[in-house]
């Protein structure tokens, strides 16, 4: 009886549909409504998915044949998400392309521009500022790394081999663009005006540290410079960056958000969630992946089987490019263009910068345990982005050996002076451990504060004397 009722209901529904004409699933023409385009037949668009076309996106109606056949003669249907053509052959997509995605490059290993290369022109002043910042970042890493080895700070992490990524990408942005870093991008903050003294204050956690000594060293941040504070968990900043970019879009700001991450970050779920979020929301942002070959001790060969990271952008409907991360002009040109596309077209862009982490992962790591020392030395010398860019600057007649010596001496003296000042600066008081979270400190935190003070009184020798109680 139940089966008979089901068949009867099905026949009645089928008759009603025939009376109404072709439905959205029929192999005939249908018009998908598009923002800004008058609807032709809204009743036939029930199962059609309309992609949000923001103010900057081009919306256009697509003319479709009346007989439901594609231009190739294949039948097609408008599934939710878009129109598809049918084929009779069962074809599985291959696991990878036959050829790897090419890598965009402007400068060769000797600092000369590659014939017919297309890149964004830079003025003499901009070129020299970029170079001086790269040298400053390089020296800063050396001095602060040595300070950690001397026991003067507890932790440090270098950007050796990735100076071009830091400085050139920062130079292509505007001050209004929002930066959500990982932890190997202090050069972006340096370019924006963060001084050596501010870096030293954070590393020593003194009274002038904006984080009030609560963060571990190298977790820089600056509201003034639109640079979000570094956070240790990997890739958590990616979906947050999409939200920041979308807020810029809602406010109709001529700015974008950019987030940096390593190849290891692409193995986190937040990476995939962020790319899909950005693509669907059409957020004006740049995903910048520093593919330096190593996620601490894990090589990329053990992280993914795809052709690096750049191919993943297309899977989420994101325009993408792979470039030589040790090429200053390539990085600058790509980020400059990506920023323009992100803002004017209202879209996310994925950049994969191929590079190599020359230094150890951090001062807590000894990378000679998992990779050959001669490989590290080869990248430190033969493929150094700073030396390569200097050759191009010198080739233009903009730089000489005397300027080089003077710059390095001045930067070194400024950094050593900054360390001395930061070391002598008093620390924040103990009470700052419990502030800046709640407007009114709750009773459980008050109890923790009293317990801590009691512990210090009972064990004064175990508490650092330079921190006010």
Per-state percent for the chain, helix, strand, coil, to nearest 5: 45, 10, 45
Active-site annotation holder among 146, 154, 247, 405: 146
Question: Checking phi first, is residue 252 left (phi over 0); if not, alpha (psi -120 to 50) or beta?
Answer: left
Tell me whether residue 255 is in a domain.
yes
169: helix, coil or strand?
Answer: helix
Whether 328 has a pLDDT exceeding 60, the answer reads: yes
Whether 25 has a pLDDT exceeding 50, the answer reads: no
More confident residue, 33 or 398: 398
Judge whether 361 counts as a catalytic residue: yes
Buried b (16+ CB within 10 A) or exposed e, 259-284: bbbbbbbbbbebbbebbbbbbebbbb
Same domain, 364 and 437: no
DSSP labels, 135-166 = HHHHHHHHHHHHHHHTTSSS-----TT-HHHH
Tell me whether residue 111 is in a domain.
no
Active-site annotation holder among 232, 297, 364, 405: 232
Tokens, residue 116: 């017919």
More confident residue, 78 or 3: 78
Same domain, 140 and 165: yes
Per-residue model confidence (pLDDT) at position 280: 97
Write the pLDDT tens digit of every residue in 410-422.
Answer: 999 999 999 999 9
Contact status, residue 426 vs residue 206, Cβ threshold 8 Å: yes
Same domain, 329 and 299: yes
Judge whether 159 counts as a catalytic residue: no
Same domain, 368 and 393: yes
Tell me whether residue 165 is in a domain.
yes
Write the pLDDT tens digit of every residue in 44-61.
Answer: 332 233 344 444 443 344
Which sign, positive or negative, has the C-alpha torsion 357, 358, 360, 363? negative
Active-site annotation holder among 219, 360, 361, 428: 361
Question: What is the residue-averaged pLDDT of the chain?
Answer: 87
Same domain, 282 and 383: yes
> Beta-carbon neighbour count of residue 194 at 10 Å?
20
**Three-class DSSP labels, 339-352:** HHHHHHHCCCEEEE
Same domain, 289 and 215: yes
Write the pLDDT tens digit of every residue in 375-410.
Answer: 999 999 999 999 999 999 999 999 999 999 999 999
Same domain, 389 and 450: no
Same domain, 285 and 301: yes
Question: Residue 161 is part of a domain; what is its CATH number?
Answer: 3.40.50.970
Question: What is the pTM for the complete model shown?
Answer: 0.84
Give the number of domains in the chain: 2
Tell me whether residue 60 is in a domain.
no
Same domain, 440 and 420: no
Same domain, 437 and 352: no
Write the pLDDT tens digit of every residue in 94-145.
Answer: 888 888 999 999 999 999 999 999 999 999 999 999 999 999 999 999 999 9
Band (pLDDT 50/70/90 cuts) for residue 77 is: confident
Average pLDDT estimate for 464-468: 83
Same domain, 412 and 445: no
Active-site annotation holder among 28, 333, 362, 367: 362
Tell me whether residue 46 is in a domain.
no
Domain that holds residue 444: 430-462
Same domain, 444 and 375: no
């Amino acid at each position: 009886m139940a089966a008979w009722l089901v068949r009867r209901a099905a026949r009645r529904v089928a008759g009603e549909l025939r009376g109404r004409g072709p439905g959205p699933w029929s192999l005939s023409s249908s018009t998908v409504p598009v923002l800004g385009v008058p609807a032709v037949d809204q009743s036939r668009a029930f199962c059609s998915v309309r992609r949000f076309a923001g103010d900057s996106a081009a919306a256009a109606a697509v003319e479709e044949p009346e007989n439901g056949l594609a231009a190739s003669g294949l039948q097609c249907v408008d599934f939710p998400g878009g129109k598809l053509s049918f084929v009779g052959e069962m074809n599985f997509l291959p696991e990878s392309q036959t050829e790897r995605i090419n890598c965009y490059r402007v400068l060769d290993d000797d600092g000369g521009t590659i014939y017919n290369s297309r890149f964004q022109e830079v003025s003499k002043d901009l070129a020299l500022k970029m170079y001086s910042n790269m040298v400053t970042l390089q020296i800063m890493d050396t001095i602060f790394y040595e300070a950690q080895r001397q026991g003067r700070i507890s932790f440090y992490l270098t950007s050796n081999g990735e100076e071009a990524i830091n400085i050139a990408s920062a130079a292509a942005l505007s001050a209004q663009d929002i930066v959500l870093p990982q932890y190997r991008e202090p050069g972006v903050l340096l370019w924006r005006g963060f001084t050596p003294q501010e870096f030293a204050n954070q590393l020593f956690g003194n009274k002038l540290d904006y984080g009030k000594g609560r963060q571990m060293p190298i977790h820089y941040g600056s509201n003034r410079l639109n640079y979000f504070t570094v956070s240790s968990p990997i890739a958590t900043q990616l979906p947050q960056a999409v939200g920041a970019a979308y807020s810029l879009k809602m406010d109709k700001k001529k700015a974008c958000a950019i987030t940096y991450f390593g190849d290891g970050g692409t193995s986190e779920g937040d990476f995939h969630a962020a790319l899909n979020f950005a693509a669907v929301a059409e957020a004006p942002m740049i995903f910048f992946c520093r593919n330096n070959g190593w996620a601490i001790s894990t090589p990329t060969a053990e992280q993914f089987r795809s052709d690096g990271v750049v191919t993943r952008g297309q899977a989420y409907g994101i325009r993408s490019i792979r470039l030589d991360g040790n090429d200053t002009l390539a990085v600058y040109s790509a980020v400059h263009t990506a920023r323009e596309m992100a803002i004017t077209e209202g879209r996310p862009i994925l950049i994969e910068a191929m590079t190599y982490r020359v230094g150890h992962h951090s001062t807590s790591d000894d990378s000679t345990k998992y990779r050959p020392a001669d490989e590290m030395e080869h990248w430190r010398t033969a493929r150094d982005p700073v030396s390569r860019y200097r050759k191009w600057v010198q080739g233009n007649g903009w730089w000489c050996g005397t300027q080089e010596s003077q710059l390095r001496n001045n930067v070194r003296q400024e950094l050593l002076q900054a360390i001395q000042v930061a070391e002598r600066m008093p620390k924040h008081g103990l009470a700052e451990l419990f502030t800046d979270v709640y407007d009114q400190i709750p009773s459980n935190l008050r109890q923790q504060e009293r317990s801590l003070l009691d512990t210090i009184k009972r064990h004064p020798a175990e508490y650092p004397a330079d921190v006010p109680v």
